[in-house]
Structure 1
């Protein structure tokens, strides 16, 4: 059973009038720049709420982010049937404005929360403690909080732990934002390099005897007469020459359009081959040579032939 508390100890939160109100439009802009609202669960945040509940001895813990009209739970332990609530019902909308741990020892004795729907009905919250998540810009985003269905009070060590956990949540938010920005910059770079690839081909390869591929942030000239075959690999393709393998961000359709049509053929949804490199065909498998000059037939590579491509391939071969 939780310890009995005298009346003076039951409300330990700051008064609402003392809470500093930030510019709401600026706050929401910073929150949305994290691109985290309505994102799937992530283990880093789930682990932090489990730790908060363990430290505070509560059955419920949340990472709650305060949107314009709702509080949305990025991590949720103990209230899994809720993904969000209306902002009017959020303890966290007050806690995020406090400069220290915002604690309500018994919600039924606090005039601000006595009629809160989360108090008067399921889940019947009686205890709340939340530490604000403050962005590097100094703007509150929400809280990491611990809640329970019976009154209680934190000790000094538990409050300090909540402050530390709040900083950890913000650190993970910053790491997540940095990763997303890096991915977006990488996509932009891929687009620019693809444009450069196209421009280079237009300028230098009117006859399609050469292509330029990106490798380690540089463009490499590849002679098409040295390409043996091309293999699709998800969002990338592997280009196999006699000496090298180049992995580039492209599609088979894009690459097929850049190769000399008279010399290359699509033989499978995942393969384009140089017709001059085919050494033999048996059933639905062809062998493609690997070497150069007199070594061209050493250790040939088997490449499958798709049923829908076989007739067109055979029509291009000089059969007798």
Structure 2
């Protein structure tokens, strides 16, 4: 490579048919991940990457048509919205396994990269492509250091595992978005031509909900629900006989359950009012079935509202 020159990314893109790149970008758009706010799941995976590789910098980034979009970042400055042609991740994205650059200042492909000769002074880089189930590369999970280094095989394998976890969270995220889209479409189709007051009354009379379990919709009578628990990306609905896990939010479940029968008592819990048997300080004791009771915390911001719902003497 000639001195003070830098290889354009266009030579890499030219090895892929233009139609493949167009399909890749369309799939990336369908994930609706570019330029979105920080999310705990992705932040945690970036932190684990930095910890496992013992590097000051780690990124989860996605490569758009002409730039790099960072979803999660540990350390480093001025690494967001990099032009695609200088982003190391655009190379890692197209690698067959992982791309490891032990010393970028001595690497013919990167020694004149602005991120190497500029104030970032990147020396070590390792990135694993983020591949969709169909095999399309969306970006990379990477670790970066300002000093040369080399990973051992255990660290490399851990990075591959973390990259698969990133994609798994992407799939969960896409599934939630798709379910919300389908729900909205269904509501539009079923929305009756009535005024708001009539609509509120109708919603209060709902006695059942449908939840998606694998490839089917399951009918659940609201009278059978004992409580609802938020757990990360999931919401668990408990009845006397079973637990149903769905991709939803507590707010959505709260809106779908009849408000006369259920109350939010904590950011993580919704309970059936008719099953509460005692309130002690910041704890509610209630029946899950005829033989079992359960104690759940009451959030301070929900306590007054709960007490107002109870028939106190």
What TM-score range do you get, normalising by the shorter chain? 0.5 to 0.7
Q: Partners in 2 of 1:164 and 1:237 — Cα distance?
A: 37
TM-score (norm 1): 0.57
**Which one of 63, 70, 75 corresponds to residue 66 of structure 1?**
63
1:42 aligns with 2:39: yes
Deviations 1:93-118 (A, max 9, x none): 11111121110000011111111111
- Residue 85 of structure 2: SS of its match in structure 1? helix
Where 1:54 maps in the other structure, the secondary structure is: helix
Deviation per CA, 1:120-173, whole angstroms, max 9, x where unpaired?
012110000000100011100010000000000011111101111110000000
Mapping of residues 292-303 of structure 1, within 5 Å: none
Match of residue 122, structure 2, among 113, 120, 125: 125
Aligned CA distance change for structure 1 residues 108 and 82 (closer, same or farther; 3 Å): closer
- After TM superposition, the score normalised by the length of structure 2 is 0.59
**How many residue pairs get matched?**
206
Deviations 1:269-304 (A, max 9, x none): xxxxxxxxxxxxxxxxxxxxxxxxxxxxxx9xxxxx
- 1:88 aligns with one of 76, 85, 89: 85
Q: Which residue of 2 aligns with 1:136?
A: 133
> CA shift at 1:246, angstroms?
11
User: In the aligned structure 1, how far is the partner of 2:15 from the partner of 2:100?
Assistant: 17
Q: 1:58 to 1:20 in 2, by over 3 A?
A: farther
Q: 1:237 to 1:159 in 2, by over 3 A?
A: closer
Q: CA deviation at 1:83?
A: 2.6
2:150 is matched with 153
1:169–1:92 Cα change, 3 Å = same
- Equivalent in 10, 16, 21 of residue 21 of structure 1: 16
> Partner of 2:28 in structure 1?
31
Q: What whole-Å deviation, never above 9, does each CA across 1:13-44 have from its counterpart, x for those lacking one?
A: xxx98x97361000001111000101000011
Q: Distance in 2 between matches of 1:238 and 1:103?
A: 52
Paired position in structure 2 for 1:164: 161
CA distance in 2, matches of 1:63, 1:187: 30
Distance 1:184 1:106, change over 3 A: same
1:241-320 to 2 correspondences below 5 Å: none
Q: In the alignment, what sits opposite 1:293?
A: none
Do the aligned partners of residues 239 and 140 (structure 1) sit closer, same or farther apart at CA in structure 2, a change above 3 Å counting? closer
Does the 8 Å contact 1:89/1:116 carry over to 2? yes
Bigger CA radius of gyration: 1
Distance, in Å, in 2 between the alignment partners of 1:69 and 1:32 is 14
Instruction: Mark the CA change 1:35 to 1:160 in structure 2 (over 3 Å): closer, same or farther.
Output: same
Say which SS state the counterpart of residue 62 (structure 2) adopts: strand
Q: CA deviation at 1:80?
A: 4.9
Please state whether the residue corresponding to 1:89 is helix, strand or coil.
coil
CA distance in 2, matches of 1:54, 1:96: 22
Q: How far 1:236 moved relative to its partner?
A: 6.4
User: Is the contact made by 1:21 and 1:97 (CA closer than 8 Å) also made in structure 2?
Assistant: no
SS in structure 2 of the partner of residue 103 of structure 1:
strand
C-alpha distance in 1, partners of 2:152/2:255?
55
| Alignment partners' CA distance in 1, 2:91 and 2:118 | 20
Secondary structure of the structure 1 residue equivalent to 2:179: helix
Aligned CA distance change for structure 1 residues 117 and 135 (closer, same or farther; 3 Å)? same
